[in-house]
Every structure is written in C-alpha cells, then in structure tokens.
Amino acid sequence: MLISYGAILLAGLMPVICAGIAKSGAKGYDNHDPRAWLAQQIGHRARANAAQANSLEAFPFFAVGVILALLTGVDPFVVDMLAAAFIAARVAYVACYLSDKALLRSIFWAVGYFSVIAFYVLAMLNLQPG
C-alpha cells in the first residue's frame, strides 16, 4: 500500500510541478495575476499549464479510486500496481504534452484513465452483499 499512498502524493504534486514548468525561467512573469499571465503563454508554457489543469482534473478521480479499492479489500498489490501504472502514464502524458506529441499524449492519457476505471470496477466486484 505504500506505493499507492506515494502515488496519491505524487499525483497531488503533479499540478504544482506542471505549474512550475510553465513559469520556470519566464521573463515578465506576473505573480500578482498568474492566471492571466499563464493564459497569454504559448508553446511549452501553454502546454505545461494545460497539463497542470488536466492533472488537477485527474487527481480526485484517481485518489478516490485508490481509496475505494483499498477500503473494499482489493488486493493491495493490485492497487499498488495500478497506482504505479497511473503515475507512469501521467508522467509520460506530461512529457508528451510538453514535447507536443499529441497522439502519444492521448494514448498515455487513456492508459491512466483506464487504470483508474479498474480501481472502481475492482472495488465494485469486491463489495460483499448485505
């Protein structure tokens, strides 16, 4: 379960990491209005900001899936492996986003998404009647 817990932590940090990439080394960064500044960016900064938003969107679905799977008694090893697959897919997703590899990015997004779906399916299959 340590891998699952660490994966939740890493998934929670990914938006901050992406935001850091978007802002890193930028000239004219405005900390008084960072969202407006980020909205005007192009290239890798804009893509890093988009990856940040997507990471924020993916986090609750992933974290709740892990917790539900563990609470319903899904084998912790299986949960750990799915959590590791999610994190690996998300890291690859961000890397593809930054390097503007749209097809690969979509493939890695799907791998991460289906790993999260697996948490919910396994949790539902593991529920005891009554």
- pLDDT tens, position by position, 14-40: 999 999 999 888 888 878 888 888 888
Which pLDDT score is estimated for 22?
Answer: 92
Q: What is the pLDDT of residues 94-108, one digit of tens each?
A: 999 999 999 999 999
Distance separating alpha carbons of residues 91 and 53, to the nearest angstrom: 14
Which pLDDT score is estimated for 130?
Answer: 58
Which pLDDT score is estimated for 34?
Answer: 85
Burial class for 36, CB neighbours closer than 10 Å (0-12, 13-18, 19+): exposed
- Is the pLDDT reported for residue 109 higher than 80? yes
Furthest C-alpha separation in the chain:
61
Mean pLDDT of the chain: 94
75: confidence class by pLDDT, cuts 50, 70, 90: very high
- Is the pLDDT reported for residue 1 higher than 80? no
Which pLDDT score is estimated for 33?
Answer: 87
- Is the pLDDT reported for residue 52 higher than 90? yes
Mean pLDDT, residues 48-72 taken together: 97
Mean pLDDT, residues 62-82 taken together: 97
Residue matched to tokens 């790993």: 115
